[in-house]
Amino acid sequence: MPQVLFYLFSVLAVLSACLMVIVKNPVSSALWMVGAFVGMAALFVGLNAYFVGIIQILVYAGAIMVLFVFIIMLLDLKAEEKRVWKPANIAAGAVVPTILLLQILGVLLKSDFEPFQELDLKTAATAHQQASLDLYQEKAKKAGEEFDPADVPVGKIQANLEDNQLPDVHLVGRTVFAGRADKAASQSFGFDDTSNNLPLQVMGVLLVVATIGVVVLSKKGSPAKSN
């Protein structure tokens, strides 16, 4: 991403986050938070993580914050607008971020960053092809079969790379869902090839439990029981 865009969106994100805290009207506050989410999503997109960026908008800005705005509107909070900040609140609000900022600064100053490199998809494409060729060759050797490079199927990741596009959705899917991660992809992109399938399933169970909890809690006061 051109640097101009990076600065534009990071300013958008930071400014909206600040305004979200400062503004007194709860609805404006919620809307500024949406602005912050959109800025963050744009930063993700700038890092070539299209999928994460879009999911950020879809889930946070498009679903969760809509419910927030919805509830705030229904409650029609007038008292919030008249509230005056106490000095203690302001002091706490200033001290905690300052400490966090110092911490981040400390880490940034200590760490040694390599210069930024554009993602080279052509190299990745050849590397990926070579890696999958190797894998199939190994497989054929184990099975004691004749190896023919023409037999190696062209996967979606390979096709994407050859179209000069980063197959980020496929890579995320492979890493998260695959029982065993895609060896060719993990070799050519340099992430470790442990499977994340179990954590994913645990998270699924957690979400189901949360959903059931919500249903049980919200059903409690229904007229069905009081009748």
Partner 1 sequence: MELDLAFLIATVIKMGLYFTIVLTFVAYAVYAERRFSAIIQDRVGPNRTMIPTSILGFKNDIKLPLGGLTQPIADGLKFILKEDFTPAHVRKHFFWLAPCMTMVPSLITIAVIPFSSPIAIEGRDVPLSMAIADLNVGPLFIFAISSLAVYGIAIAGWASNSKFPFLGGIRASAQMISYEIALGLSIIPVLLVFGELNLGRIVQEQSVNGWLILPLWNEGGHILSGGFWDAGGLQQWILWLPMMLAFIIFTISIFAETNRTPFDLAECETELVGGYHTEYSSMKFALFFLGEYAAMVIGSALIVTMFLGGWSLPFGWSNAEWLASGGIIATFIHLGCFLTKVIGFILFFILVRWSIPRFRYDQLMKLGWVIFFELALINIVLTALIIAKPALDKEGPIAFWAALAALAAFSAFVFYLAKTIDNQVGPGKRVAPVKAKPAPVN
Which residues, 6+ apart, have CB-to-CB distance to 213 below 8 Å? Answer: none
Sign of CA dihedral 22, 25, 31, 37: positive
Name the residue with tokens 């993602």: 119
If binding means CB under 8 A, how many residues of this protein chain bind partner 1? 34
Question: Which of 112, 118, 146, 192 lies at the binding interface for partner 1 (CB under 8 A)?
Answer: 118
Q: How far is the CB of 7 from partner 1 (least distance, A)?
A: 15
Instruction: Return the range that interacts with partner 1 (CB under 8 A); candidates 66-74, 107-115, 132-140, 186-194.
Output: 66-74
CA atoms within 13 Å, Cβ hemisphere of 19: 16
Structure tokens belonging to residue 101: 């900022």
CA dist., res. 1 & res. 5, Å (int): 7
What does each C-alpha distance from 126 to 54, 122, 123, 130, 160 come to in angstroms? 28, 6, 5, 6, 12
Question: Which of 23, 69, 140, 176 lies at the binding interface for partner 1 (CB under 8 A)?
Answer: 69
Residue 188: Cβ-neighbour burial (10 angstroms; 0-12, 13-18, 19+): buried
Question: Which of 84, 109, 143, 224 lies at the binding interface for partner 1 (CB under 8 A)?
Answer: 224
Per rule CB under 8 A, is residue 167 in the interface with partner 1?
Answer: yes
Instruction: Choose between 109 and 215: whose C-beta lies nearer to partner 1.
Output: 215
Amino acid at 102: L
Instruction: Choose between 86 and 116: whose C-beta lies nearer to partner 1.
Output: 116
Instruction: Choose between 121 and 127: whose C-beta lies nearer to partner 1.
Output: 121
The separation between CA 112 and the C-alpha centre of its own chain, rounded to angstroms, equals 25
Question: Which of 4, 74, 88, 107 lies at the binding interface for partner 1 (CB under 8 A)?
Answer: 74
What does each C-alpha distance from 31 to 70, 90, 134 come to in angstroms? 11, 22, 52
Per rule CB under 8 A, is residue 42 in the interface with partner 1?
Answer: no
Per rule CB under 8 A, is residue 127 in the interface with partner 1?
Answer: no
Per rule CB under 8 A, is residue 79 in the interface with partner 1?
Answer: no
Per rule CB under 8 A, is residue 8 in the interface with partner 1?
Answer: no
Question: Using CB under 8 A as the criterion, which residues of the chain lie in contact with partner 1 when the complex forms?
Answer: 2, 27, 31, 34, 50-51, 54-55, 57-58, 61-63, 66-67, 69-70, 73-74, 118, 156, 160, 163-169, 219, 222-224, 227
